[in-house]
Each structure stands twice: as structure tokens, then as C-alpha cells.
Amino acid sequence: MDWDNYRAFLEVYRSGDLGHAAHGLEMSVPTVRRRLDAVESHIGFPLFERTPRGLSPTPVARRLVHSIAAMGDFAAVADSLKEGPVQSVTISADDALAYYLSDATWADLRRSHPGLGISVATRRPHSEDFEVKADVAISHVRPKAGRAAGRCPGALEVGLFAHRDYLARAGVPADAADLQRACMVAAESDEANVWLEARLGLAAGSTRSAFRTDSYAGRLAAIEAGMGIGICYVGLARRRPELVRILPNVSASLECWVWSPRSQLRSGVASQVIESLVASLSERIGPTVRARTARPAPSTLDKVAA
């Protein structure tokens, strides 16, 4: 069975749309449809159902996807070994996203790419000072046109949280106006605070800071120590039962984007790393939004490494 047929299945599964899958694979829609038909013929069962929101995987597809993804990991490892054991990739990530990914994703990436050296450089959530150095970037900001292989595996919800001890001392805010009287844990950068507050729907300057640091790990530690109220990924806070969500209506859903800051991929390794990161993030984030692809202009696509 042609592996490209299974690649088409995985791309349709991740994106939920033939057009998006075709862009991601740099194939035509009829070609993707033909490859998907070949997989369904080989399996003997339909793999997708058409719905108003796109193509929805059948139970058979859900049972198969992990095994087929493992085949893709094997193919990626085999390709990387062909290129030699000494390779490296520089990944630029928003500081908060780097912390969110640190507990499992980097280890998964190393297992998928034995011998690969990984360097992670962190930055503020809206900064673009990584353009020259990074092979791969992970951010909550959609990449600009001209970047290679932009993929959105989903979105992460953020909200306001505080330690229950702090709330016992200071009281629970009843509305956003009460945040002005609360002790807030915030970013050191005013620009980063404005960026985050805007996405939460808070007016600029509507809070005052008791503790500031641009380190997301430092902010989370301060919240856990009972220093005040701060912004946290909902998924991380749920693993910390001592943290209590404040004002649930004050929330935001931040898309995650994985791409190469370069106009073309420097090597096949960067492309494989992007695929691995997208697959890992898709699994961790869950079915929040369908994975999407942002492609460079056609003239740039001709230069993108296969």
C-alpha cells in the first residue's frame, strides 16, 4: 500500500477538510480524494462522514489513526537516519507555550527523532525577534504570509486563577471591576500584559500588579504560592486542585501555530519536526478547533523543500 495514501488519510483526519488537506500535502483535491478512496478500499470500511462542519472520522478511522500515525513516525525516523545522526533544530516558542509543552512534548520529539539535537529559545507572546535564528516556531500569533508550513493544531483556553489560600484572605472578585483591588500576577512587559488583557476582554490598565515577571513558570509559581490572581492555561490549572478559577466569563481561546519563520524549510528535518509537533499538540489540545494550514504565496511554495 502506497504510504502517500496513508499520509492523505492522516491529513484529512487532522484538518477535517479535503481542501485544507490538499494544501498541507501540496496535492490537488482530486488527488487527495483518490488516495483516500484507495485507503477506504484497502480497509474495506468508510473512514469519514460528510457533516455541515466538514469531514467527520468514523469509529473505524478513530481506531486506525494512532497506528497509522505510528507508521508516519517510523517513516520520519527512517528518513532522519538517512541524513546522518548529527542534526539539530532550533525551536522558538512563546515562553508560556514552551512551559506548557515541556512536560512531555520535547521528550516525544526526541523519541520520534533519535539523534536530533533540540534547542528551544523562548520569547514574549507577540514578539518576532526569532526570525533569523529559528528553524521552527510555535506561537499563539498566526504566522505572516511568506512563512513555510504554517499549521494550527488547535487552541488553548486561558483564564484567571488564584490559590484558594489567597481567596480566603482577600475574597473572591465578583466582577472584572474588582480586579482593580486585587493583587495580580502579571508579565513584566507592558506590551505582553496589554496583549493578554485584550484577548481576555479586559480594558488596558484595569488591573494592578503585585508581582511581575516575563517567565511563565515564575508567574505560575507565584499564583501557586498565593501571591495573587493571574492568567493560566485552563488545562494546566486543572492539574492543580489548589487553584480556583476566577470570573469564568473572563476567558480566551488562543490558537497555537507551528511553522518555519523562513520562506523555505532549511531541511527535511525541520519539516518532520513541524509534523511531529503538530501531531503532539493536536493530541494534547483535543477537539477544540479543526487543524488548519496557512500556506505561503504560490511563488514561495515552489521553493519549499519537499
pLDDT over 90 for what percent of the chain?
21
pLDDT per residue as tens digits for the range 123-151: 766 555 545 568 888 888 888 765 556 78
The pLDDT value given to residue 271: 80
Whether 254 has a pLDDT exceeding 50, the answer reads: yes
Whether 305 has a pLDDT exceeding 50, the answer reads: no
Whether 161 has a pLDDT exceeding 90, the answer reads: yes
Q: Which CATH class is domain 156-254?
A: alpha beta
Whether 199 has a pLDDT exceeding 70, the answer reads: yes
- Return d(Cα 237, Cα 234) in angstroms, integer: 5
- Return d(Cα 33, Cα 5) in angstroms, integer: 10
How many CA atoms lie less than 13 Å away from 57 in the CB half-sphere? 18
Q: What residue has cell string 488562543? A: 254
Contact (Cβ atoms closer than 8 angstroms) between residue 131 and residue 260 = no
Q: What residue has cell string 525551536? A: 91
Nearest to 171 by CA among 230, 229, 223, 234: 229
- Give mean pLDDT, residues 277-294: 65
Amino acid at 118: I
Highest-scoring range by mean pLDDT, 194-203, 242-251, 289-298? 242-251
Highest-scoring range by mean pLDDT, 42-46, 95-99, 171-175? 171-175
The CA-atom distances, in angstroms, between 42 and each of 4, 35, 37, 57 are 14, 11, 9, 17
Question: Quick one: which H or E segment has residue 169?
Answer: helix 164-170
The CA-atom distances, in angstroms, between 2 and each of 7, 36, 75, 286 are 9, 11, 12, 29
Lowest mean pLDDT among 88-102, 191-205, 274-288: 274-288
The pLDDT value given to residue 299: 33
Q: Where are the domains of the chain?
A: 1-82, 156-254
The pLDDT value given to residue 152: 87
The pLDDT value given to residue 300: 31
- Give mean pLDDT, residues 26-31: 85
| Confidence class for position 6, pLDDT limits 50, 70, 90 | confident
The pLDDT value given to residue 211: 92
CATH of domain 1-82: 1.10.10.10
What is the maximum span of the chain, computed from C-alpha positions, in angstroms? Answer: 64
- Return d(Cα 262, Cα 264) in angstroms, integer: 5
- Residue 287 pairs in a beta bridge with none
Which pTM value belongs to this model?
Answer: 0.62
Highest-scoring range by mean pLDDT, 30-39, 226-235, 278-287, 290-299? 226-235
Whether 249 has a pLDDT exceeding 90, the answer reads: yes
| Confidence class for position 120, pLDDT limits 50, 70, 90 | confident
Q: Name the average pLDDT for the chain.
A: 79
| Confidence class for position 290, pLDDT limits 50, 70, 90 | very low
- Return d(Cα 56, Cα 58) in angstroms, integer: 7
The pLDDT value given to residue 78: 57
